[in-house]
């Protein structure tokens, strides 16, 4: 090689090589992708609003009271009109001021960030007889409680607002029938992203909680189990107006969970592999949430929990299909062999039936049948001979008429 040589460097023998001049002059450099450092935004927009909401809650606490305190502490009242909830929240963060609409909007967005999504921003008559805005939040006891962060950072009951001469459309905040108010212990209804690890892969689905029991969005969970030996299909039976579940590998349903007395929960009738069942569910908008434990019991799914992964589901390996094991040529050979075996079996069955018929008929009847067949053959032969000896058209027509009309045994 050109310009090759050796050098002694610090007691080490170093071989130096120079590439031949005939090589291409193209060079290839390893592309180094530098991580772009995160630059915190300084101005809130509708696109980056969640960043600011997270920062605010980290400071004041991820609770409804923390959200109300942050709103009350950050803003100074200044009357102005509303531009819509999200726009009002962005304005409030950037300008630290606003009217009641902005207070309610910022509180609403902070609550929504934490998953408290059963809320109504009310704009109606306030305590001073003028238009006012506040937020109604649905709680786990079936009642609605109210936050008016312009005045305080804790919740109000409906009766407390009525006592303050506030009025609104009560149909927006209807109490569930049979509910018993428990403001001291009830919690706001919340939708969370539950992490579930299925066969080593973690994913999230929507969930909610009642009485320390997890309820999950059924279709999302079905999608999570797709491709496993415990997969199932979620459909709708139009004739019965019921949810229909069809399992990949049917198992007997064995529900072990206890029913809750929570008024927000209801009993839902469903079909599971053609069987009618009643399960306790929670209806949220267009989605039906089922107990995770009930669905696991329906399909024989084993659930465990670890501190590192949370909820863990491990399913047996699905049974392999023939086409996944054998190549196409071998499958064809197997099918041909099976077809030959079936043909052989049919032939053997037919021979057996013929033999049975022969065994049933007496020997004399078989002999009579054979003699009749011989006689028929002789008479037919004689008729042909007569036809051959004649030759005139009259004889031919006469023969045909007699043979066809009278048949074997006729006098010719």
One pLDDT digit (tens) per residue for the chain, 412 residues? 444 444 444 444 344 444 444 434 444 445 556 677 878 889 999 999 999 999 999 999 999 999 999 999 999 999 999 999 999 999 999 999 999 999 999 999 999 999 999 999 999 999 999 999 999 999 999 999 999 999 999 999 999 999 999 999 999 999 988 899 999 999 999 999 999 999 999 999 999 999 889 999 999 999 999 999 999 999 999 998 999 999 987 777 778 788 888 999 999 999 999 899 999 999 988 889 999 999 999 999 999 999 889 999 999 876 554 444 446 676 577 567 667 777 777 778 777 776 766 666 666 666 766 666 566 555 554 444 444 444 444 444 444 444 444 444 444 3
**What is the architecture of the domain spanning 49-173?**
Roll (3.10)
pLDDT at 17: 41
Per the DSSP assignment, residues forming a β-bridge with 347 are none
What spatial distance separates the first Cα and last Cα of the chain, rounded to whole Å? 116
What is d(CA 301, CA 311) in angstroms, rounded to the nearest whole number?
A: 12
Angle at alpha carbon of residue 219, lines to 217 and 224, rounded to 5°: 95
What is d(CA 20, CA 232) in angstroms, rounded to the nearest whole number?
A: 64
What is d(CA 119, CA 121) in angstroms, rounded to the nearest whole number?
A: 7
Per the DSSP assignment, residues forming a β-bridge with 281 are 266, 290
pLDDT at 43: 96
Q: How many Cα atoms occupy the beta-carbon half-sphere of 251 within 13 Å?
A: 16
CA dihedral 254, 259, 265, 270 (to 10 degrees): 20
pTM summary value:
0.66
67: exposed, middle or buried (Cβ count in 10 Å: 0-12, 13-18, 19+)? buried
What is d(CA 103, CA 133) in angstroms, rounded to the nearest whole number?
A: 8
Distances (CA, A) of 292 to 27, 39, 174, 240, 282: 58, 40, 28, 24, 12
Q: How many Cα atoms occupy the beta-carbon half-sphere of 108 within 13 Å?
A: 23
3-state DSSP assignment of residue 154: coil
pLDDT at 126: 96
pLDDT at 287: 86
Tokens of residue 304, six digits: 């465990």
Q: What share of the chain is helix, strand, coil (3-state, %, to 5)?
A: 35, 25, 40
Q: Are 105 and 135 in contact (CB under 8 A)?
A: no
Per the DSSP assignment, residues forming a β-bridge with 235 are 244
pLDDT at 330: 64
Q: Are 280 and 291 in contact (CB under 8 A)?
A: yes
Residue in this structure with the two tokens 């919340």, named with its chain if needed = 190
**Location of each CATH 3.10.620.30 domain in the chain:** 49-173
Q: Are 248 and 230 in contact (CB under 8 A)?
A: yes
pLDDT at 366: 62
């Amino acid at each position: 090689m050109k310009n090759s040589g050796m050098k002694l460097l610090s007691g080490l023998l170093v071989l130096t090589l120079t590439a031949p001049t005939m090589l291409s002059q193209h060079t290839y450099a390893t592309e180094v992708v530098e991580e772009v450092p995160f630059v915190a935004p300084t101005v809130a927009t509708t696109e980056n609003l969640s960043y600011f909401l997270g920062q605010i809650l980290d400071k004041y606490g991820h609770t409804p009271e923390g959200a109300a305190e942050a709103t009350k502490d950050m803003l100074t009242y200044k009357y102005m009109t509303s531009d819509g909830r999200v726009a009002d929240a962005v304005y409030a963060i950037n300008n630290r001021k606003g009217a009641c609409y902005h207070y309610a909007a910022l509180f609403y967005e902070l609550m929504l960030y934490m998953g408290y999504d059963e809320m109504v921003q009310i704009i109606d008559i306030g305590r001073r007889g003028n238009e006012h805005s506040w937020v109604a939040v649905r709680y786990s006891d079936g009642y609605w409680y109210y936050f008016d962060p312009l005045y305080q950072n804790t919740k109000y009951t409906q009766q407390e607002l009525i006592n303050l001469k506030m009025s609104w459309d009560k149909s927006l905040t209807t109490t569930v029938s049979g509910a018993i108010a428990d403001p001291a212990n009830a919690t706001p209804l919340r939708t969370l992203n539950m992490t579930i690890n299925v066969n080593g892969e973690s994913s999230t689905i929507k969930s909610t909680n009642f009485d320390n029991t997890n309820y999950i969005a059924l279709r999302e969970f079905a999608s999570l189990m797709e491709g496993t030996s415990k997969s199932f299909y979620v459909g709708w039976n139009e004739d019965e107006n019921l949810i229909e579940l069809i399992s990949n590998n049917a198992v007997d349903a064995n529900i072990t969970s206890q029913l809750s007395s929570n008024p927000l929960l209801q009993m839902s009738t469903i079909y599971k592999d053609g069987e009618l069942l009643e399960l306790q569910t929670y209806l949220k908008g267009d989605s039906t949430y089922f107990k995770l434990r009930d669905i696991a019991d329906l399909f024989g799914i084993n659930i465990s929990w670890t501190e590192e992964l949370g909820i863990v589901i491990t399913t047996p390996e699905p049974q392999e299909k023939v086409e996944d094991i054998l190549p196409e040529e071998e499958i064809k050979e197997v099918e041909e062999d099976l077809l030959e075996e079936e043909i052989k079996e049919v032939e053997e069955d037919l021979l057996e039936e013929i033999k049975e018929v022969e065994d049933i008929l007496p020997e004399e009847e078989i002999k009579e049948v054979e003699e009749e067949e011989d006689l028929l053959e002789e008479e037919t032969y004689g008729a042909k001979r007569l036809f051959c000896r004649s030759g005139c058209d009259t004889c031919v027509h006469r023969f045909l008429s007699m043979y066809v009309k009278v048949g074997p045994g006729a006098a010719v």
